Structure 1
């Protein structure tokens, strides 16, 4: 908790009432989702809260987080589990909806990540826009990835403009353009820094960056960060990270990437030591080319609200449960948790 105490800014006071915060959150979510759907030709669809266990469709995240699971009295499935994200479910949904290349879907994803280490940026409750777009196999390259990143960033800029027009107390924080850098370039640039320190340094310099190629080992033998081996292609993925002037740190908004084809899936499963997954339904479908090639990602709803509305704690823009000591500290620091 000492670390958390350092991270919450001294003298912080939210400039809005709870009612104003609620209205502003609604405006952020409405404006951004509409912009995103329009620019990427996405159709809003319903999404599951839980999935059948053992199919390989749920997101394994870094591979060590266990999902919340339960048995339903009148359902044949042996076990159901709350989603972590919809990274793989969306790709199967593209096929069911018979989406054409250049079109896709977006969902209002809600999840529980019970093993998440909670703090001012993290909650066990997750809300994000999970989106997925069909692409041709010939589009599995960095230019397609970067063009899509630029579109998402423009949507963020448009939403920032709309929020600041309605709430003049907020300032422009996003630069005109987003900068692209790979994790290896970061290691080469800051060889003595930790991955988190590298993100802080590059975000402070450029204010908005796309940090690409996350998941594989760097020249040092270390990973920048973990990434499940069976949805993103580790050479064609990354995170949108901005500089948060209130918190004076890098601030991740989105994780995204071009999805694995059959070759990348086999290679990454072998590197991760997860070859046992090739017998799961989802993985067989990828290997047998029964799923569309796609690009997709998750964009944090509460993260975007927290950034644009200049809040110090994610609990100011979402309802969750927090440790008693954190609640007490937030009260001392004028942080009003919902």
Structure 2
């Protein structure tokens, strides 16, 4: 069901024309910084892939992809992508990208099962990126290093927005806080996952929560994660599981945590086999993507996605993602959002 948060005393700081200018400048500046900091080259991405190849991201395993039949290919079924988590790794191999370099792309997707609200839309737009890394860097320290580079790009982009629109003052802390999901659970054992995220984001302003997908001491994962791209089952030297995580900041307009990025070190063939077994998905071993990974054809990589509309929403201090992107919304949400000062595009 859709759910609308009405920010207290909300007033848009930018009109529609200023907003569109801000979106353009933010997207251009941030992707240039991301490309430079991680040594990524831009590639062209698909909007849809063939069903049954294992390339599409199945998210939590319950979301249904939008699909259609291709008349000129004997009605073969295609799916609109959910994300490009696995497609990117295939591309690294097919383009022969060298170690220490990678790719990024504009990913556009449709998630028809999304619960609509201030932060969630049917339309998903993000920068998907993937970087070839050496096997010996499969550790939390390397994960933190890459997160730090991305956060540096976020800081620089926030200052660009301030130069363009002085009424929007920077609020991101100079450093991002790293915490494992198990540590977060121990800090707030009586809170739900989202409540824990709200508390830690409000406390530090920006946080990277490590370890998403594996079960914690309460028997539940912090959040769901597919078994065939992020490594959430490797054990680090401190005894915690997971080489992935979510980058979250505090949203002062909605007064809640705002996830900007999901990323991590990707599975190798041993971890893939283990995670498929644990999640009862061993039938995927016969799919195209999984066969190429298990046969050793794909490079070790780290990668993730960064939400474009969410990023712009935060920087431009908007109360609803529909103020940034054009999508479809329930009519009652449009009416109520308009009354709350949030006209949806």
Q: Structure 1 length as normaliser, TM-score?
A: 0.98
The CA distance in 1 between the partners of 2:343 and 2:162, in whole Å, is: 22
The CA distance in 1 between the partners of 2:158 and 2:174, in whole Å, is: 12
The CA distance in 1 between the partners of 2:73 and 2:156, in whole Å, is: 45
Contact 2:265 2:302 in 1 (8 A): yes
1:310 alignment counterpart: 317
Q: CA deviation at 1:246?
A: 1.2
Trace 1:158-197 onto structure 2 (pairs within 5 A): 158-197=156-195
1:241 alignment counterpart: 248
Contact 2:334 2:343 in 1 (8 A): no
The CA distance in 1 between the partners of 2:225 and 2:71, in whole Å, is: 34
* C-alpha distance after superposition, 1:210-262 (max 9, x if no partner): 00100011111011110001000011100000011111111100000000001
Trace 1:263-282 onto structure 2 (pairs within 5 A): 263-282=270-289
* C-alpha distance after superposition, 1:187-218 (max 9, x if no partner): 11111111111001111111100001000111
The CA distance in 1 between the partners of 2:190 and 2:304, in whole Å, is: 30
Q: Secondary structure at the match of 1:299?
A: strand
Contact 1:52 1:77 in 2 (8 A): no
Contact 2:269 2:293 in 1 (8 A): yes
Any stretches of 5+ residues in structure 2 without a counterpart?
233-241
Q: CA deviation at 1:10?
A: 2.6
Q: CA deviation at 1:75?
A: 2.4
1:31 alignment counterpart: 29
The CA distance in 1 between the partners of 2:209 and 2:25, in whole Å, is: 28
Q: How many corresponding residue pairs?
A: 336
1:206 alignment counterpart: 204
Contact 2:2 2:115 in 1 (8 A): no
The CA distance in 2 between the partners of 1:140 and 1:151, in whole Å, is: 17
Q: CA deviation at 1:20?
A: 0.7
Q: CA deviation at 1:76?
A: 4.5
1:93 alignment counterpart: 91
Of 17, 20, 39 in structure 2, the residue corresponding to residue 19 of structure 1 is 17
1:83 alignment counterpart: 81
The CA distance in 1 between the partners of 2:317 and 2:335, in whole Å, is: 21
Q: Secondary structure at the match of 1:93?
A: helix
* C-alpha distance after superposition, 1:45-68 (max 9, x if no partner): 100000000000000101110100
Q: Secondary structure at the match of 2:131?
A: strand
The CA distance in 2 between the partners of 1:176 and 1:241, in whole Å, is: 14
The CA distance in 1 between the partners of 2:9 and 2:3, in whole Å, is: 17
Q: Which runs of 4+ in 1 moved over 6 A?
A: none
Of 126, 129, 139 in structure 1, the residue corresponding to residue 124 of structure 2 is 126
The CA distance in 1 between the partners of 2:145 and 2:121, in whole Å, is: 31
Of 326, 329, 344 in structure 2, the residue corresponding to residue 337 of structure 1 is 344
The CA distance in 1 between the partners of 2:255 and 2:195, in whole Å, is: 12
* C-alpha distance after superposition, 1:300-321 (max 9, x if no partner): 0001000011000000000100
Cα 1:233–1:243 shift into 2, 3 Å: same
Contact 2:3 2:116 in 1 (8 A): no
The CA distance in 2 between the partners of 1:171 and 1:233, in whole Å, is: 37
Of 201, 226, 229 in structure 2, the residue corresponding to residue 228 of structure 1 is 226
2:267 alignment counterpart: 260
Of 100, 110, 113 in structure 1, the residue corresponding to residue 111 of structure 2 is 113
Q: CA deviation at 1:113?
A: 0.4
The CA distance in 1 between the partners of 2:160 and 2:56, in whole Å, is: 35
Q: Structure 2 length as normaliser, TM-score?
A: 0.96
Cα 1:58–1:183 shift into 2, 3 Å: same
